[in-house]
Amino acid sequence: MVAYLEHANITVPDIDAAIAFLKVVEPDFVVRHDATPEGSYRWCHIGTDQTYIALQEPHLDSNPKHVGRPYKDYGVNHLGWVVEDLSTVVERLEAHGYRKGIPVEPHPHRRRAYYYDAAGFEWEIVEYLSDRAEEQHVYPSG
């Protein structure tokens, strides 16, 4: 078996807003579980049978801070999702008013776009134009 990333766990200020963003990126994502155990914080899993995002509210006894500055503070800068049709996903994100992230250079074998969700987390959306890994993962020289 080859190792793969099954899930990422993210503490968010608003689970419903995070679910809404992810459903815009991939309408077929399902909420696999959503719970608020008595005396605890809410958490959920959204995605597919193979991969998902675990979303959770801050622990009840915490004093959460705003999201860090991507690429400047320690922590996750962005998470990337592979999609079949980037143009359609971008149209949906724009129609829902999500803010575009960093610009990207053209690439012969992939298209990418970065968007911020309502909490300020950055997400990379990728469409591969080739099935060949050696083409998908060509990096600029330098």
Q: For each of the chain's 142 residues, which pLDDT tens digit applies?
A: 777 789 999 989 899 999 999 999 999 999 999 999 998 889 999 999 999 999 998 887 777 776 677 777 777 888 999 999 999 999 999 999 999 999 998 999 999 999 999 988 899 999 999 999 889 888 876 5
Q: What's the predicted TM-score (pTM) here?
A: 0.88
The domains located in the chain, with CATH, are: 7-59+67-136 (3.10.180.10)
Q: Would you give the end-to-end CA distance of the chain in angstroms?
A: 34
Residues near 140 by beta carbon (within 8 Å), at least 6 away in sequence: 105
